[in-house]
């Protein structure tokens, strides 16, 4: 009896994971996970589903993506997610990556009517403290707006 040959799946032109120079060599990163389909936040929509941070570099980002991808890809119409990594120059005695993450979540809340990204668990009670002393609000909002289309 002749065995049936297996069909190979996957291998699309889009890379499953692409790592850039910004992510390698840096430990403290902030990352934004965006889906190909926009999620509803009240009367607004955004592709952003998660904003997170890590002290352990790209390996932590990939671990988080693995956990969030299953839920994000289960949403109707979402068949691709993207991870965008941001870093910031360190300052003495300030955890700048945490300030950046908090600032991005606060900017998201301002733009989308007090909602936080779909898969974020923290951020509902965030209020502006000193984040706008480290980053321009307009700059933070511009990062969030990149994912509107």
More confident residue, 19 or 35: 35
Q: What is the pLDDT of residues 135-147, one digit of tens each?
A: 999 999 999 999 9
Residue 63 lies in a domain: yes
pLDDT at 44 over 90: yes
Tokens matching residue 13:
């032109």
In this structure, of 37-41, 66-70, 79-83, 145-149, the range with the lowest mean pLDDT score is 66-70
Residue 14 lies in a domain: no
CA–CA separation, 12 vs 132, rounded Å?
Answer: 42
Q: Provide the pLDDT for residue 28.
A: 83
Q: Provide the pLDDT for residue 7.
A: 63
Residue 21 lies in a domain: no
Residue 12 lies in a domain: no
């Amino acid at each position: 009896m002749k065995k049936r040959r297996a069909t190979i799946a996957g291998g699309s032109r889009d890379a499953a994971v692409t790592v850039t120079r910004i992510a390698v060599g840096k430990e403290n990163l902030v990352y934004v996970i965006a889906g190909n389909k926009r999620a509803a936040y009240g009367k607004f929509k955004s592709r952003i589903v998660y904003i997170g941070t890590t002290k352990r570099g790209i390996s932590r980002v990939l671990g988080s993506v693995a956990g969030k991808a299953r839920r994000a890809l289960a949403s109707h119409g979402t068949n691709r997610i993207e991870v965008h990594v941001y870093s910031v120059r360190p300052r003495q005695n300030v955890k700048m990556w945490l300030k950046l993450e908090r600032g991005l979540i606060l900017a998201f809340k301002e733009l989308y009517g007090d909602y936080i990204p779909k898969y974020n668990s923290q951020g509902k009670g965030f209020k502006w403290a000193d984040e706008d002393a480290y980053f321009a609000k307009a700059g933070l909002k511009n990062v969030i707006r990149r994912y509107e289309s």
